[in-house]
Structure 1
Amino acid sequence: MTELRNVEADLSRFRARLLVAGIVVVLGFLLLLSRLVYLQVVRHDDLLEQAESNRTAIVPVVPNRGLILDRNGVVLASNYSAYTLEVTPSKVSDLEQTIDELSQVLEITPRDRRRFKKLREESRSFESLPLRTRLSDEEVAKFAVQRYRFPGVEIKARLFRSYPYGELASHVIGYIGRINQSEKEKLDESEDAANYRGTDYIGKLGVEQSFETQLHGITGVDSMETSAGGRAMRRLASSPATPGNTVKLAIDIKLQHMVEELFGERRGALVALDPKTGEILAFVSKPTFDPNLFVEGIDSESWQALNESIDKPLLNRALRGTYPPGSTYKPFMALAALETGARTPEQSIADPGFFMLGGHRFRDDKEGGHGMVNMYKSIVESCDTYYYVLANDMGVDTIHDQLQRFGFGELTGIDIHGEVRGLLPSTAWKRKSYKRADQQKWYAGETISLGIGQGYNNFTMLQLASATATLANNGVKMKPHLVKEVVDVITHAPATTEHESVGEVIAKAANIAVVKGAMVGVNIEGTSAASFRGAPYTSGGKTGTAQVVQIKANEKYVASKMEERFRDHALFTAFAPAEDPKIALAIIVENAGFGAKYSAPIARRVMDYWLLNQYPSLQDIEAVKKGMAPAPIGKPRTVAELPWPPGAPAAPVAPASGASGASAASAPAKTASAASTVR
């Protein structure tokens, strides 16, 4: 049976399907057209920007770090550029094997490996870390041939900090180091986050840290055209970086060098400053360290040697080391007595060689005593008994209130970080510091030793030098500062540090004159007369010998029987010229013994340098190191005759062939926390 088809119905269905298909195609084209309009018109600007960002890359240009100079323009910190071999750990499958294979192409020392390991522990895996630094052109070429074998390893040109005099003044200058995680987090949260893009290093200590903002400069940017693989093809635009400003210190680096040389291998500190301005002329802490070790990242063994050394080379003794001031405290006690009316200059006591309190015998350093002692004699001959009696009469809180005015137990406000307060005791301090009632109580016997600068008294050499300068400046206290001026790298205009007085005049002029006159007597006929014999200027001073450990009442101190680190400290304070002081200082030589024998001779050479332009002879330097030359011996040299730089530079020198050397900024120049209380 033949099936009859309805042709009209089939045509009708076909037309309907064709219509639907046509509508779908038209709708599809309309959707494509609308999408095209959306992309080409609505999102044109946004997509153009994205396209440009795929084609271009914004590369930060790290600024040259500013120079650090001494007061005479000698460069103490500068920059040089060099090639580095860098590894990004996250891009390397087997790091140890890669380093082993790299060592067959380039020399990689065990110290390089240790330093790289320490950097890895302190950084994120995606950061590029230097494995080798200061590559020569030949080494760069060697690696370039083999580069395809080492994904995640590349050669970069970087700026490095250089400290040309190595350990000299290292506690003042400080150093820079790689930005660690905590520092990065702080920078990211600060307003300077954009200015540190591309920067790997930051000031860690000293002036490098405290003047980071001035020294860092302003980061520039390069707009680079890149290939599909991300390789830079050409520079499209550039905004150059602005170098950091030049920081000029008040320090005289030759004076600093002389003092460090006179200390020799001994430990201690010296601070010398201008009493009228507060400018610090020398800021010595011995032993020192080489800041160049930290620039490329210090290896674990070198860090351990510095950090665990019994001599504590990382401790800035001038800023953070606290010591009992010993007899250098007596002039301030005498002035406090005059100010409170506890003594007059003429008032005398009979000194039998001891002071008795509650059955305890406080001994004088002189057997049999000094006889009848007035204020002048008490300072010139350093009579302990006079100050035992005085301390007992004044009481601890009166002593505290009077001595605090000189800055003892207070921050001086110096322009580098890390200063400590020291300790000026009082009854309120003891109640706050101890928990048990019997410990909180202040006992009368504790007051007696305060009068001779012992007991709980502990101060920094910076505080002692500042107090001496205040006395020399007739009671006007000036804020001490290390930086003399900051020179703008663009305009070359210097911004001079303001000479800032602190508080009111400390004491009456007549009372200050009495004490200063007695200190002049110390250097003429007293305990330090031998050191200042023949000086063509008049100076004031005070020797001090501070106990490190307590000696029992029935025992006598014999230095030769004591372990070296338990022996007395040698201290000295001084100012000159007496009639118009231009320099004041405080010095301590740890565990050396008598201040007159070991500290006063160094102070004499400092005065001669500053006032007479004299540098000690080689014979004199060696004798002072051994405590065998109170007054200068041999023919002194003029400062101009001193060979400079002293010996071979300790800083790493940029390779002869490699990336060109770079200076941080154009500036006038003559040449190119381990912290603990010391008791």
Structure 2
Amino acid sequence: MPAKRMTIKDHTAEANLFARRTVVALLIVGVMLSVLVSNLYVLQIKKFQDYQTRSNGNRIKVLPVAPNRGLIYDRKGRLLAENRPVYSLEIVPEQVEDIDGVVAELSAMLDISDDEIKDFEQSLKRVRRFKPVALRSRLSEQDVARFAAQQHRFPGVSIEARLTRFYPYADALTHVLGYVARINKKDLQKLREAGQEDNYAATHDIGKQGVERYHEDLLHGEVGYQQVEVNSQGRIIRVLDFDPPTPGQDIVLNIDIDLQMEARKALEGRRGSVVALDPRTGGVMALYSNPSYDPNLFVHGISSKDYSALLNSPDRPLINRATQGQYPPASTIKPHLALVGLEEGIIDSETTLFDRGRYQLKNVSHVWRDWKKYGHGQVDVVKSVEVSCDIFFYDLAYRLGIDRISDAMQQFGFGDYTGIDLYEESDANMPSRGWKRARHNEPWYIGDTISVGIGQSYWTATPLQLADSLMALVNKGSRYVPQIIRGNLVDDEVQLQPVKELRPIPVKNEENWDIVLDSLYGTVNREHGTARSAFSGAHYISGGKTGTAQLFSIGQDEEYEEENVAKHLRDNAMYIGYAPIDAPEIVVAVALENAGGGSSNAAPVARQIMDFHFRDRTFDSLVLNPQDAAEDNESQ
């Protein structure tokens, strides 16, 4: 077998092959380097600004800054709601080696409760270690001083101050001002729907009731922002820019705090309310509901125990009786019905009726009784209001009918919201045929109409509605929306809110106003007027109307004896009044729950309010009612 021949290597060919491969490799490397350099050019030069902005976003944060809430003043410039500094003890966890030990020492020094320690421990689990966590809020000045003397022993622990709402008059203004409290999930949802969530990014509290809630848009202000540089852990290193927040507007109310405090004093120990309006503008000078509560309890978070006590109290202090209390208006609406009767031609100034103390319809066995057992004898429309004759108004209501009564009373605002700048308001109830059918699935009976004639049956009204309706009477039909806010405070000057007028009540005969106002004058100033005793000796002349609201039915042959009636079923005392008689500047409505007669209980409260209002006023000559002045001249 022939031997295998050895292949001779071609070194020249191999060298050429290696050279070609080297060139190809160098070209590939060159292309890749070109791509890399091109990308570096794009990143570092062409798109430098874009990527620098993105990089700054990683190390620069924009943080919201909460605005200071606007202050609230009364009509004379007294501060009603302010912002006070509150001191809290805060710990930065990463700066404290032995948190448990430090907490124990601080607890012994500042008497920190177990609940506060428990809340602190729970907060530690939710917060990053470089952020401060409050161990105790609302430190006293003594606590602050005590810690300051020992602060060098506690690195990572500090006292921080922030502004919180404070109400210096406490329970005297709760149902007017309301209060602020922590923003909850429901509040956040409303803010999102209104597109206001960003404006509350740094805010902890929001108005929950009263003026604080209704005028939240004025009081809150606009959020500010600060640009800060942070490290990779999110810790703030320095502040780069600051856009300050816009504080909320300071507002001035129509409330006179002195008059408000007098109303509080007058209702001490009694359930009820007082409303005082300026009939010239509708301004709310006083609005007090008793019992009340301290709104400061809600600012920092009320305890479950305290809230349960308020919620379950039989006196229902959480209800604003002035705007939400629904009471039978009783005889306080007799002047209004008198006007309707005059306007409809059912009665005139000469119409008389003999009151024997009983009223009965033909072929009807039921007897309606007067509050005075044997009646008032011969009465006309003016005297029937003065002595509060029930029989006259039973008959008037029967002849008018519920349809005309309901339509006319709605013009005075009964059964509707007054429009006051509070969300906490009831429209109460002005009954009608349709209402009873819808509510009780029953027809309207004649007996229902007769009871409506003295402000009973299904008719209910709030004290604010009563004051509002009296304001329409003394203004001879002109109506204004009751307003708590007076204006905004700008550079120490009050920019007044416009007076809100409603459509006036039309009448066919302007003299009918004078007849009704004469009856209100007589109620207070004539011999048999039901409020004469309450206003005896007053240094001003006023007009008004008493009312006693019966809360349960009495059998045909039964007598009402207060001492035998359960306290919660006793009559409500009502009164509406105004002064001075010739140029009214205050209208007052008083409602006292289960207090008894309006003339002996509610009218004296109204007298106390009016006396206080006119305390510094002198009247050179008391202006009598024109009719009485003429009679006096004739007698002379």
Shorter-normalised TM range: 0.7 to 0.9
Counterparts of 1:43-192 in structure 2 under 5 Å?
43-85=47-89, 103=107, 107-109=111-113, 132-135=136-139, 136=144, 138-139=146-147, 156-192=160-196
- What displacement does 1:76 show? 0.4
Structure 1 counterpart of 2:351, from 347, 357, 364? 347
> By how many angstroms is 1:129 displaced?
8.4
Q: What is the match of residue 432 of structure 2? A: 426
Residues 396-415 of structure 1: matches in 2 within 5 Å? 396-415=402-421
1:382 to 371, 378, 388: 388
Output the CA distance in 1 between the equivalents of 2:401 and 2:116. 60
Corresponding position of 2:514: 513
Letter in 2 for 1:314: L
Kindly state the Cα deviation for residue 410 of structure 1 after the two structures are TM-superposed.
1.5
What is the distance in 2 between the residues matched to 1:613 and 1:17? 114
- Report the CA distance shift for 1:396/1:129 in structure 2 as closer, same or farther (over 3 A): farther
Letter aligned with residue 407 of structure 1? G
Check conservation: 1:115, 1:300, Cα contact below 8 A.
Answer: no
- Match for 2:74: what amino acid? D
Aligned residue number for residue 634 of structure 1: none
Match of 2:248 in 1: 244
Q: CA deviation at 1:471?
A: 0.8
Q: Does 1:537 align with 2:540?
A: yes
Secondary structure, aligned partner of 1:599 = helix
Change in 2 beyond 3 A, CA 1:431/1:42: farther
| Alignment partners' CA distance in 1, 2:100 and 2:358 | 71
Deviation at 1:291, TM superposition (A): 0.9
Aligned in 2, Cα 1:104/1:409: closer, same or farther, shift over 3 Å?
A: same
Offset, 1:66: 0.8
How far the C-alpha of 1:296 sits from its partner, in A, is 1.0
* Residue-by-residue CA offset, 1:521-576 (whole Å, 9 max, x unaligned): 11123111111111122111111110122223332222111221111101000011
Shift of 1:98: 11
* TM-superposed deviation, 1:88: 12
> 1:106 offset after TM fit, Å?
5.1
Q: Which one has a bigger Cα radius of gyration?
A: 2
- Check 1:335–1:181 CA distance in 2 against 1; reply closer, same or farther (3 A cut): same
Structure 2 distance, partners of 1:48, 1:384, is 87
Q: Is the 8 A contact 1:476 1:506 kept in 2?
A: no
Deviations 1:417-461 (A, max 9, x none): 122211001112223324xxxx33111111111000000001111
Letter in structure 2 aligned against 1:461 = P
Alignment CA distance shift 1:206-1:88 (3 Å): farther
Alpha-carbon shift at residue 611 of structure 1 (Å):
2.2
Say which of 550, 554, 567 aligns to 2:553.
Answer: 550
Q: Deviations for 1:79-104, whole angstroms, at most 9, x for unmatched residues? A: 02233357999xxxxx9999989756
Aligned pairs for 1:189-228 within 5 A = 189-228=193-232
Of residues 47-56 and 161-170 in structure 1, the stretch that sits farther from structure 2 once superposed is 47-56
Q: What is the one-letter code of the residue matched to 2:510? A: A
2:626 maps to none
TM-score, with structure 2 as normaliser: 0.87
Query: What are the within-5 Å matches in structure 2 for residues 449-488 of structure 1?
Result: 449-488=451-490
User: Which letter does structure 2 place at the counterpart of 1:253?
Assistant: I
Task: Indicate whether 1:498 and 2:498 are aligned.
Answer: yes
User: Secondary structure at the residue paired with 1:445?
Assistant: helix
1:306 to 1:276, Cα distance in 2 relative to 1, 3 A: same
Write the distance in 2 (CA, Å) between the matches of 1:550 and 1:142: 71
Report deviation, 1:479.
1.5
Structure 2: which 5+ residue stretches go unaligned? Answer: 94-98, 618-636
In the superposition, the TM-score normalised over structure 1's length comes to 0.81
| Secondary structure, aligned partner of 1:202 | strand
* 1:364 maps to amino acid: D
The CA distance in 1 between the partners of 2:25 and 2:380, in whole Å, is 122
> Which of 611, 616, 620 is the matching residue for 2:614?
611
Question: SS in structure 2 opposite 1:487?
Answer: strand
> Does the Cα contact within 8 Å between 1:275 and 1:583 map onto a contact in 2?
yes
**How far apart, in 1, do the equivalents of 2:263 and 2:162 lie?**
35
Q: Deviations over 1:62-86 (max 9, x none)?
A: 1111110011101000102233357
Identity %: 39
> Match for residue 365 of structure 1?
371
Aligned mates of 1:25, 1:157 — CA distance in 2: 64
Alignment counterpart, residue 36 of structure 1, candidates 34, 40, 59: 40
What pairs up with 1:580-591 in 2 under 5 angstroms? 580-591=583-594
**Who is 1:323 aligned against?**
327
Q: Which residue of 2 aligns with 1:234?
A: 238
Q: For residues 496-515 of structure 1, give each alpha carbon's deviation from its aligned partner in whole angstroms, at most 9, with x where no partner exists.
A: 12123211244343111111
The separation in 1 between residues aligned to 2:434 and 2:181, in whole angstroms, is: 42
User: 1:271 offset after TM fit, Å?
Assistant: 0.8
**Preserved contact between residue 105 and residue 142 of structure 1 (Cα < 8 Å):** no
Using a 3 Å threshold, how does the CA distance of structure 1 residues 46 and 265 change in structure 2: closer, same or farther?
farther
Q: Is the 8 A contact 1:115 1:299 kept in 2?
A: no
Deviation at 1:396, TM superposition (A): 0.6
Once the two structures are TM-superposed, the CA of residue 137 in structure 1 deviates from its matched residue by 5.8
Which region of structure 1 is more displaced relative to structure 2, 21-30 or 448-457?
Answer: 21-30
Mapped partners of 1:11, 1:105: distance in 2: 90
Q: Which residue identity lines up with residue 521 of structure 2 in the other structure?
A: V
Contact 2:411 2:505 in 1 (8 A): no
- 2:163 and 2:251 map into 1 onto residues whose CA distance is 19
User: Take 2:548 and 2:471, find their aligned partners in 1: how far apart are those partners?
Assistant: 20
Aligned counterpart for 2:315 among listed residues 311, 314, 319: 311
Corresponding position of 1:444: 446
| 2:295 pairs with 1:294 | no
How many residues are matched? 596
Paired residue type of 2:472: T
Q: What is residue 264 of structure 2 aligned with on the other side?
A: 260
SS at match of 1:350: strand
Question: In structure 2, what is the Cα distance between the partners aligned to 1:37 and 1:168?
Answer: 73
CA positional deviation for 1:325: 0.5
Counterparts of 1:354 and 1:415, CA distance in 2: 44
- What's 1:643 paired with? none
In the alignment, residue 417 of structure 1 is paired with which amino acid?
Answer: Y
SS in 2 for 1:182: helix
Distance 1:424 1:98, change over 3 A: farther
Q: Which amino acid aligns with 1:422?
A: A
Counterparts in 2 of 1:165 and 1:141: CA distance versus 1, 3 Å: same
User: Mean Cα displacement is larger for which, 248-257 or 38-47?
Assistant: 38-47
Q: CA deviation at 1:108?
A: 3.2
2:371·2:390 contact (CA, 8 Å) conserved in 1?
A: yes
Residue identity opposite 1:495 in structure 2:
Q
Higher mean C-alpha deviation, range 239-248 or range 187-196: 187-196
Q: Deviations over 1:646-674 (max 9, x none)?
A: xxxxxxxxxxxxxxxxxxxxxxxxxxxxx
Give runs of aligned pairs for residues 7-22 of structure 1, distance below 5 A.
7-22=11-26
Q: 1:271 is matched with which residue?
A: 275
Q: Is the 8 A contact 2:412 2:505 kept in 1?
A: no
Report the Cα distance in structure 2 between the residues aligned to 1:536 and 1:281, rounded to whole angstroms. Answer: 21
Letter of the aligned partner of 1:521 in structure 2?
G
Deviates more, 1:556-565 or 1:72-81: 556-565
Conserved in 2, the CA contact under 8 Å of 1:114 and 1:299? no
